[in-house]
Each structure stands twice: as structure tokens, then as C-alpha cells.
Amino acid sequence: MLIEYTQEKLIGSILYFTQNTNHCVKLKLNLLLFLLDFKHYGQIGRKVTGLDYYAGPDGPIPSRNNKSIDADIISVTSSESTDKSNIKPSKKFDGGVFTKREKQIMNNLVDLYKDSDANDIIKSTYLNRLKWNKILKTLEKRQQQKVSFDLAQKEEEKEMISKIILENNMYWQKYR
């Protein structure tokens, strides 16, 4: 039976990134969650956290309101600007719900961006490798449109991954 852990994985991802990075403000956390989902989707056609993202000028905006995360999971240290408030974990990270691939992606992101601030992440990723300008241009006239994760996949991989997803869905339909 296929078991979905998206809520647990979302909470675990938040705890992991806030516990293992410095300068973790709301924007940096959103960027790291997006990168986790984007990279994982590019590899196997599925997001880790289950979040949908909307295009904003500084990067992705998760579909869920940050207030939906329980106060016992994270604490926010106040600042004049909510964008500059540091986020700290209130619980310890438990990686039991994550696959090896998911943990590896999270580890790689922490290795790359542990001491970076949100602006450094934006400069090093979206403007070059992740086609953020293309996303914004596509969505420019349509405010609050979802970001398509198809951009995470290379053209030659899209058909193969779509076929695998279809086969997996058909397989799991038989066992539900």
C-alpha cells in the first residue's frame, strides 16, 4: 500500500532546513523548500512536500499560509520586517519519513546554502539554472499562477518520466 507522508515531510523539511542552515528567514526557507521539490520532481516526477508554488518577484511562494505550521514546530524571532525574522526549530528533525534520495537532496542543499542568505540563493539559482526569468515572463500577465514543475525536467526526460508516472499510478490503482 502506498503511504503518503506529505504533511510529515513538509514539517520534517522545515525542521531540517531551519536546524541546519544559518540566516534562515521566511524567504530562504521558501526557496529551500522549492529547490527540494524542484530537484526531486526533476529526478522522479514527484514533489517531496506536496506544496504548490506561485511565482513572486523574489522567488516561489508556497500555496500554504505559513501560519498553518504549528507554533510548536518553529519559532520566529521578531524583526522590524517579517521577511527578516529568523526562523528556528522548536523540535528535533526526525528523518524517518524521508527516502535516501530526499535526504541526499536536502543534504546537498544545506551544503550549498548553509551560510547563504536568501538573496545569494536567488542569484545563484533562479537567474541561471532554474529558469526563474522564464517562469516570471510566462506568468507575468497572470498574477498568482502556479509554477509548473515541468521546467525541472529536461526535454528528453519528460516523456520517459511521464510514462513511469503513468505506469506507477496504474500499478497503485490495482492495490488500493
pLDDT at 67: 47
Mean pLDDT (the chain) is 76
Domain assignment present for residue 67? The answer is: yes
Query: Which one has a higher pLDDT value, 44 or 163?
Result: 44
Domain assignment present for residue 1? The answer is: no
Average pLDDT over residues 72-95: 69
Judged on CB neighbours under 10 Å (0-12, 13-18, 19+), 133 is: exposed
CB 41 within 8 A of CB 47: yes
Alpha-carbon gap, residue 93 to 107, rounded angstroms: 13
Give residue 58's domain range. Answer: 6-174
Provide the β-strand partners of residue 89: 74
Alpha helices in the chain (DSSP H): 6-20, 26-44, 100-113, 118-124, 132-139, 155-174
pLDDT in tens, 107-139: 999 999 999 998 888 777 654 545 566 666 665
pTM for the model: 0.74
Average pLDDT over residues 28-46: 89
Short-list 147, 108, 126, CA closest to 17: 108
Q: pLDDT at residue 18 above 80?
A: yes
Q: pLDDT at residue 105 above 90?
A: yes
pLDDT at 166: 72
Domain assignment present for residue 44? The answer is: yes
SS3 124: helix
Domain assignment present for residue 136? The answer is: yes
CB 29 within 8 A of CB 122: no
Domain assignment present for residue 150? The answer is: yes
Q: How many domains does the chain have?
A: 1
Domain assignment present for residue 96? The answer is: yes
Q: Give the percent of the chain with pLDDT over 70.
A: 57
Handedness of CA 119, 106, 137, 128 (dihedral sign): positive
